[in-house]
Structure 1
Amino acid sequence: MFYDEIIYLFLALILWGAWPRKVGPPALVTASIFLLKDLVWLLLVRQRLATALDALEFAVRQRALLRWALLFFFVDVAMLGLPSRLPHEVWAIFLYGQYLLLAWYMAGRYEKRQHLTGLSPGRYLLSQIRFFSPAVFPWVAASLGIELIQRCVPGLPDYFLWTLGLILLGIFFPYLAVKLWPTRSFPTSSLRTEIEAYLRRVGVRLGDIRLWLAFEGKLLTAGVLGVLPPFRYLLISPGLLATLNEEEILSVVAHEAGHVKHRHLWWLLFFLLAFLFLLYWVLESAWLLFISLFPYPKLFVSSDFHLRVWPEIILALILGGVVIFYFRYFIGYFLRNFERQADLFALESLGSARGIIAALEKIAAISGLQEAPSWHHYSLAERISFLHAASADPLLVQKHHVALSRRKRIFLLVVFVLLGLAALGDHNFLKERALRNMLRGVEARAEGQPEVLQALADYLLSQGLEKEAISVYEKVLTGDPRDPWALNNLAWLLLTAKKPSLRHPRRALELAREAVRLKPSAAILDTLAEAYYQNGDRNQACATARKALSRARREKSRHLNYYLKREKAFCRHASASL
């Protein structure tokens, strides 16, 4: 399949979305560098593929080009700043995809694998595009669809929409794939009758058996797609049919039936859903925890009080590392052992591994890839060796099933524990702690700059961080004790703080008096009226509220109704106390 391409595409999307937005060089310079870079890419691809000595080296080098493509794409993102010019992630697919297109075209010129030779570069490229399109098209459609839904129904969380998208993709992807890939129904024949009889015997239901015509039918492969029987398809390439005899074909079918019987396709869908939830809940919580506990928040902030880009860069690199670890190593372990379990199902259901061993040996001989390493399949040589060992020792089969079942249960336990901890944790508390720590970094940078400190204090107050706001206002007044707005804002906060422990009406009255003496505006007079009221002097509160109303009229305030209501309320309380 195309596991490697999917993972590197995912990494490209993360890089595009998570890397700090940065304006690149002027448009003409950017275009020139981009074209020069593509020329260098073509020369690199040609050198790597043209000098491969055999099919195995060619396959290994072609796979390594995916890493090189990601490096060139990194130049587009980090140096040319293309995400700031083309913000939608669909552009990431096109820009990263153009490296694949160029590499596929060159691969068509220098292909060393015997069963894939004979295709012109153009036909080879078209075959690759059609092979890869079922993975890209749903992603583009889901991205655009989710964006449209969020515009129409704002507030729906991303993880909910992507979960729904993954489930729908898991159900309907096989139908989409057989439409986008060149396939046709397997012709009626004795071989089809024998395959259908075997599938009925082992209890595997399908929507259809189809010929897989990818790469003009030259691939030596078969596969099963679909979690639900109506949308489940068994695909067999004409190249494989021409290479293997009926016994070997039936063994390959038994291998694919093993994937269905052991619910490997369901597990793959669950792995994807688990990653989505871990990414949104656990990783985000862990990142917020890191930011909230980082002991040097000043490093987050530049001298001009903008957030530095390196925390975003670290996050992007962490996300990339998580993707590589989870898919290449974690899911890769299960995929390799699912493949081995499917091989064992052929042995168990047919009573012998002779057919599947012979099929693998023929594929290895023709493709030249017997020793080719694979993170999602064991190499053909390793699979053949294990089947020989399992045929000689039936206990090895049971040991494999038991060990794999145990590891799946461990995986489930770890996922649910992590999600449970994330659900029980106070996400808003972590966000608040992270914000407080970041703002401490801003505060440290703003020392000795009262106007910046006051802006910070105002922001803290707007975010409900009252304790931190009080602390910053105190620092403002330490630097400039005659700042009327700092005096007023601190007084108001000491009067109206949501936490009673932060309130201090007597000190607020002193601050408000001083603020009015320096600047008797309507807003500051209103604060003084509130201070008089909370200190029990209702007459003074009424008189000051009237002054505030009068000042508001002279100032032609847009909030005149507010001052009218305040004056009536304070004076009504003053009259009631007489």
Structure 2
Amino acid sequence: MYASIIYFITVILIYTTYIPSAQQGVAGQRDLAGIVVVSLIFFLYNRLIFKRFETHGGRSAPLSEAFATRHAALVQRSTILAICIYATWVYVFDLKVLLMAIPFTARSIFLNNIVGIMPFVFLLLIVWLCAAPSYQKHCRPAASTASYISSHVKISAAVVLPWLLVSLILDALAFAAADFYQAISSNPLAGIVFFAALLGTVALFFPVVLIKLWDCIPVPPGALRSRLEDFCRRHHFRYRDIVVWNLFDGRLVTAGVIGFIRQFRYVLISPVLLQILDEQELEAVIAHEIGHVKNHHMVYYVFFLLGYVVVAYGVLELVTYKLLSQDFFVAFIVAQFTDITAPVSALLTIIPLAFFIIYFRLFFGYVSRHFERQSDLYALELTGSGAGLTGSLEKIALVSAQNRNARNWHHFGIAERVAFIQRCEAHPALIQSHNRHVARIRAFAVIALILCGALLYGADGQRLSRAHMTFSRKILEQQIARQPDNFQYYFMLGNLYYETGDFAAAEIQFKKALALNPDDPEALNNLAWLYATAPVEELRKPADALRLAEKAARISPLPHILDTLGESYFVNGRYAEAVQALEAALAAGADNTGYYLAQLEKFRRYRDGRRV
């Protein structure tokens, strides 16, 4: 489960942070052919390695569990290779450009995310399809290819579905409450608060979906279930059900708990554990899961996930643009790259991805290991003996063919866990010492993430925007120095100055662009808008605005240019012509009809003498 989270977040980062070049246009036949060829090579590679493993892999693995461990490691290596291939598709074969050409994809977060993740799912299906025969032969002869692939799909869906569900809700919000959606989109702090509330709501109800998705069934009535229910009741642990976790044809050797509130909380136990553990050991396992709930570990896990989103999509982007804005990097990028989106996009992927690996494997792993240890100690205190828990851990290591001395990034190893439980049983003061240590970890983590959020969203909340603007300005200035006859650079720099509120500088750059290309309708339009609407009185030039807007409209009568024409008529007191211009803009198929209708109503009020 942890591995699937890492895989899919990596792929999501690759897809969402990649910025297609404006020069790329539409992905061509070469790109499609490249994707097909790479897919075929990947299929043949997986067919070969799993066929070889099917033939020779079982010779040194007399236990099916040992084979399953080695087989899972091979699947993991192929999955990592699939991520590399996906990145190649995105960066070399313009996969994102190809997918964004699908109708409605560019306008829907949900559709964009689905089409973005599907190529990776396709690669995973290749891996699972090739891996199934060797799994059947050496590990589970009764298992079908469909059931093997289905189990992998269900594990992956548990990771992807919350993300897609949040995307669908955002789409619905953008459609049904556009003004509210625009407000939270334009305010970083409001956006992150809303996202946190949305994520919390999804996490609250999602356990019900997981239980259905994983085909979990209640532990059958009988003496065992009655004893487990009585154990939970005596220790005031409330839940909706205790269920059998039956993925991979019942070969999972694990237990877990999901759900934040009683109505949606489930205790999951795999069939293997129900078979190999005695009642005392099963009670210890349940006590361990109760420890996670009583210590609110799941709440902290969600908070740390949200913290990663805050840092990765905010602070790290700020750091990236601050780094890129250094004169050395600006000069290097302009000198070495004709398309600056390539290095920027690469860094916006690499830096969050590197941080993601560090965050989850080191920080999250460290926290998770100590949370697991805290739950072990909770079970020790609850049951009054470490025998049940240590016995269950030893049996799990034996049945799953794990090396009990092996280290684990999100749990301590079996030997470490057993030894620590025994030390704490002999010296109970160690339990409180560890609990204090976990409290310090949680406090440090919460404070660090809040400070990171404050760095990005504190003060005026515009640090990231300013860093982006500074980088863009320096790049454009360097490009102008190298290509002083390219009017587009002056035009883009003028737009940048306008967005930052430096209207005088914007005027200068728009004039330079028009000196090089007097008939460019966009430059004419933007300078006309500046003259018509500038908050600085010295830059208000109604007559010049109308002259420029009329010329732009003659060349390119697009809705936004006709809007500028209407505004220019308006500031010159020609209200009837302003109304005609806005009516023409609406007839030309303006997208933001709410804005255009408001403009039209304003012009009509003045035309009809209703100025209040």
**TM-score using structure 2 length:** 0.74
The residue aligned with 2:433 is: 399
Is 1:11–2:10 an aligned residue pair? yes
For 1:384 and 1:229, the matched residues in 2 are separated by 30
- Give deviations 1:299-353, integer Å, cap 9, x for gaps: 4457997534101111111121222222222111111111111111121111111
**Gap change, CA 1:429 and 1:262, over 3 Å in 2:** closer
The residue that corresponds to 2:610 in the other structure is none
- Shift of residue 13, structure 1, vs aligned partner: 1.1
- State whether structure 2 residue 308 is matched by structure 1 residue 275: yes
Q: Is 1:318 aligned to 2:351, yes or no?
A: yes
Give the Cα–Cα distance (whole angstroms) in 2 for the partners of residues 239 and 289 of structure 1: 53
* Equivalent of 1:414 in 444, 448, 464: 448
Alpha carbons 2:128, 2:149 under 8 Å: kept: yes
Alpha-carbon displacement from aligned partner over 1:149-191 (angstroms, at most 9, x marks no partner): 2233331436455434311221112111111112212222222
Q: Distance in 2 between matches of 1:459 and 1:73?
A: 35
2:47 to 31, 36, 42: 42
**Structure 1 gap ranges (5+):** 481-485, 509-515, 527-556, 568-578
Alignment of 1:269-418 (within 5 A): 269-293=302-326, 295-301=328-334, 306-371=339-404, 372-418=406-452
| Cα shift at 1:375 | 1.6
Q: In the alignment, does 2:76 pair up with 1:76? A: no
* Rounded Cα–Cα distance in structure 1 between residues aligned with 2:274 and 2:294: 23
Taking the aligned partners of 1:220 and 1:490, their CA distance within structure 2 comes to: 68
- Cα deviation, 1:50-107, whole Å, max 9, x if unaligned, reads 6654425444443333322211222222222221111322123222123333333444
The alignment partner of 2:573 has SS state of helix
- The residue that corresponds to 1:469 in the other structure is 506
Larger radius of gyration: 1
Provide the residue aligned with 1:27 in structure 2. 32
- Output one character per residue of 1:426-465: Cα deviation in whole Å (capped at 9) or x when no partner: 3436524532442332233224317446534543454333
CA distance in structure 2 between the aligned counterparts of 1:91 and 1:494, rounded to whole angstroms: 43
Partner of 1:139: 163
Residues paired across the two proteins, number: 519
Instruction: Give the deviation of 1:390 after TM superposition.
Output: 2.2
1:550 alignment counterpart? none
Moved over 6 A (4+): 112-115, 302-305, 473-480, 489-497, 557-560
Contact 1:49 1:58 (8 Å CA) reproduced: no
Distance in 1 of aligned mates of 2:566 and 2:465: 35
Q: Select 2:113's aligned residue among 51, 70, 89.
A: 89
Cα 1:114–1:221, aligned 2, differ >3 Å: closer, same or farther? farther
User: Which residue pairs with 1:571 in the alignment?
Assistant: none
Q: Is the partner of 2:242 in helix, strand or coil?
A: strand
Distance 1:399 1:115, change over 3 A: farther
Distance in 2 of aligned mates of 1:248 and 1:492: 75
Q: 1:561 to 1:118 in 2, by over 3 A?
A: closer
Letter in 2 for 1:3: Y
Match of 1:128 in 2: 152
Q: Which moved more, 1:297-306 or 1:406-415?
A: 297-306
* CA–CA distance in structure 2, aligned partners of residues 381 and 449 of structure 1: 71
Match of 1:221 in 2: 254
Equivalent position of 2:573 in the other structure: 565
Deviation digits for residues 504-557 of structure 1, max 9, x if unmatched?
99xx9xxxxxxx9xxx99738x9xxxxxxxxxxxxxxxxxxxxxxxxxxxxxx9
Q: 1:300 to 1:467 in 2, by over 3 A?
A: farther
TM-align CA RMSD = 4.0
Cα deviation per residue 1:110-138 (whole Å; 9 max; x = unaligned)?
34999756534333222332343333333
Counterpart-to-counterpart distance in 2, 1:291 and 1:86: 29
The one-letter amino acid paired with 2:369 is R
C-alpha contact 2:325 2:474 (8 A) present in aligned 1: no
1:70 counterpart letter in structure 2? I
AA at the equivalent of 1:268: Y
AA in 1 matched with 2:88: V
Q: Describe the superposition over 1:256-275 as per-residue Cα deviations: whole angstroms up to 9, x where unpaired.
A: 11111111112112222222
| Matched position secondary structure for 1:565 | coil
Question: What TM-score do you get using the length of structure 1 for normalisation?
Answer: 0.78
Helix, strand or coil for the counterpart of 1:149? helix
Residues 58 and 112 in structure 1, CA contact (< 8 A), matched pair in contact too: no
The separation in 2 between residues aligned to 1:171 and 1:165, in whole angstroms, is 10
Rate the CA distance shift 1:477–1:94 in 2: closer, same or farther, 3 A.
closer
Q: Which residue of 2 aligns with 1:100?
A: 124
